[in-house]
Structure 1
């Protein structure tokens, strides 16, 4: 099906891109993930930090979309404009490879969901699960090749369909809620290890990042927006709606089951959670919702992955091969590379102890550096007064918001732990080969002196990470 030369998406479709990107694998895993880490008090603190930090980041995306309309690739374009070619490349590559890994987590969760009914799928990383996931990867690949607008329409329909099971889950748990159970678990609960509140909150940090990934969905697709102002509106609308859903899905289970029961559930834990309240049909109902939701999120993220690689190639930060479009104006070469990488990571899950948790945490870690650079760029332009009237109220407000967003993302990188920083370096350093390729094509020098230092740090981290994997001090 051919697409018109000018593909434009209205506010509703852009908001659907944000919601479709954010509501994926993460929300269905929240009851067990939080139940195993903390009680309601720790969960409230964690969501306050994550919600506040991500709201500030959403405001940053909104502000930059309005003040820098010429930077229409979103995430990586801001890093390049503020800090130079190599940081811009690292932002694009990190965001792209992190999104690829996130797509792998979707396939793992799909097969884990089916594993509750068909043991041959196990926890999502058996040979059968990998083969079926591989078939799915390439079915989606060829559907997307038919056109972005067609895929965006499907994403909007799927987004509406997958919200229904989540709303039903929330309503049933409201009626089943017992205040005494909630109070008993509030500060930790019985039968759970004694850990400090700080450790409880820290254990949830990368998960909260993962479930907020996609907040920039409208920004990435800003070149398709009918009205530029719709980009910021879609970002905030999507953020507010999805945050409400995630907080409800996290807190309500504490008032239905003991925390020790939540911690022992199979993922995706919303399914056994509802089964405990209404019987076996609850698990089936939620499992169908998981499949619809995750497939929809996979579609949205496949679009975003290809768009980021395509935009980076158009701005000469990636090899020009990836700037090629097919007759439907789909970045075909970028999509092929994306799905080849996803395929390789899916195969690698066979050797992982907990494939879903690994992919979830690594996706978050890879995405935080691009997010940090976006926030830092917003600090930079507000501090300089670029596109602001001198000493305006707006400028002071935006500087404060951007500074909080930058501190939040930096804190999350530290809270995630050294393991994921080193695993990120294992991907960033060899990924720089794409940058070498692009710079050679253009006849440009590879690095500035500062960029050499950045590359050296990535290379050292890569060597340490590989050594840790080889010796077993870093486990996957």
Structure 2
């Protein structure tokens, strides 16, 4: 087989790209939805939350679709859009933030897997014991070896896993519909805002981070654009995958209000989808969902590991990360980038041993770190629509449509940053500021200018946020 034929055979089709998007989003998050939403709001708030999140994330999906078409030469969406649109340092922060978010998400996955197995292995505790961390570490390094065999092989496994893990969720929907109690559902409508509880706006705001978390992976096809057989498939896969997943997530969370009162839903043990099904059909429901969760999380871990390594690899190829991260194996695997990702996951697993509420903290931190890359990508789409960059020869209505979509996406991502709260913003700065040393090392390798004027402004803002965050941790204003 010739080199050209080998490259062609390694390309991903539309179904494979769509499976990457679905596989990236349908992970641990969906299995936590009933408890996380019920702890914040009732039926009405949940419906509003999904409308807001669905509309906002759909705009982001359209942003990635438009950027894939308008800028087909940009091969790694999340990172390169920020770099091209706003400069080297903001691009670096976008790359590092997305990478750190993926690694934190993968750590969350293993904490949830081991805590799910607690009934079988009590030594696992809530996923934060030494035995849980040791077992998780073995599997983390096992996946590292699997991915090192080649991206195509790993992507193929992910497609199979994506098909397998949707079955328990679909069964959940069918069973819960038959067990649905209209009186319980109606009692859960308001979420308590009509009886002295939080107002509806605050209820919806409290759901925003979990809705971001479950949709992480919407950029999956864009990240893998260099492996697509057809460039147009990148945008199609993003939108198809998103719409499928939105319908599934909204259905699972809302019909759960017809099984248990809101107060009981909000106190369920995770994975709460299993606990809801157990309430409907007995103990076998919890075990069945737990098995589905483990399959689902393993597939999502695989997809996220691939995406995280690709971001570091692309940043290094653009000379914004140290050049050792730009090395790939003969099977086109970014080996050093994958190794660094695995090392960070391992470090975070160790930190889990000393953290309180590690599961919720990792979920919120994962979502928070992803917000800046999304905001910068939306900002770049808005910029090229305003400047008509990439719209030569196209009807003006196309540009106006993309302009409106990008503007809505920018507003939505800024709203999410505000909804996440000051503490998570400061903690993100605490992580991002030291990473600038990695950026400085890469700039030194290239003998390039460290910062432009906008770069200095961004760095000062991040550094001030990190200092305030560290002071907050010391004084107790910021907590983990």
**Shared fold, TM over 0.5:** yes
Alpha-carbon distance in 1 for matches of 2:288, 2:207: 27
Q: Which residue in the other structure is 1:406 paired with?
A: 410
Matches within 5 A, 1:125-274: 125-188=128-191, 194-274=197-277
Q: Which residue in the other structure is 2:472 paired with?
A: 468
Q: Which residue in the other structure is 1:327 paired with?
A: 330
Alpha-carbon distance in 1 for matches of 2:62, 2:88: 25
Q: Which residue in the other structure is 2:84 paired with?
A: 81
Return 5+ residue gaps in structure 2 as ranges. none
Give a deviation string over 1:364-407, Cα, whole Å, max 9, x none.
Answer: 11100000000000000000111214771001110000000000
Give a deviation string over 1:55-87, Cα, whole Å, max 9, x none.
Answer: 000000001001100011111101111111111
Q: Which residue in the other structure is 1:31 paired with?
A: 34
Q: Is the 8 A contact 1:191 1:260 kept in 2?
A: no
Q: CA deviation at 1:5?
A: 3.9
Give a deviation string over 1:235-257, Cα, whole Å, max 9, x none.
Answer: 01100000001001110110111
Alpha-carbon distance in 1 for matches of 2:6, 2:48: 48
Alpha-carbon distance in 2 for matches of 1:475, 1:352: 10
SS at match of 2:389: coil
More deviation in 444-453 or 402-411? 444-453
Q: CA deviation at 1:337?
A: 0.4
Alpha-carbon distance in 1 for matches of 2:415, 2:192: 28
SS at match of 1:200: helix
TM-score normalised by structure 2 residue count: 0.97
Q: CA deviation at 1:190?
A: 10
Q: Which residue in the other structure is 2:43 paired with?
A: 40
Q: Which residue in the other structure is 2:123 paired with?
A: 120
Alpha-carbon distance in 2 for matches of 1:118, 1:252: 31
Q: Which residue in the other structure is 1:443 paired with?
A: 447
In the alignment, structure 1 residue 94 sits paired with structure 2 residue 97? yes
Divergent runs of 4+, >3 A: 2-6, 189-193
Q: Is the 8 A contact 2:192 2:198 kept in 1?
A: no
Q: How many residues are matched?
A: 475
Q: Which residue in the other structure is 1:397 paired with?
A: 401
Alpha-carbon distance in 2 for matches of 1:86, 1:367: 17
Alpha-carbon distance in 2 for matches of 1:390, 1:4: 36
Give a deviation string over 1:102-151, Cα, whole Å, max 9, x none.
Answer: 11110111011111332211111111111111111100001100000000
304, 308, 332: which one pairs with 1:305? 308
SS at match of 1:333: helix
Q: Is the 8 A contact 2:161 2:296 kept in 1?
A: yes
Give a deviation string over 1:37-59, Cα, whole Å, max 9, x none.
Answer: 10000001111110000000000
TM-score normalised by structure 1 residue count: 0.98
- CA change 1:283–1:390 in 2 (3 A) is closer
Return 5+ residue gaps in structure 1 as ranges. none
Q: Is the 8 A contact 1:31 1:269 kept in 2?
A: yes
Q: CA deviation at 1:206?
A: 0.4
Alpha-carbon distance in 2 for matches of 1:128, 1:470: 30
Give a deviation string over 1:340-376, Cα, whole Å, max 9, x none.
Answer: 0010011101122211111111111110000000000
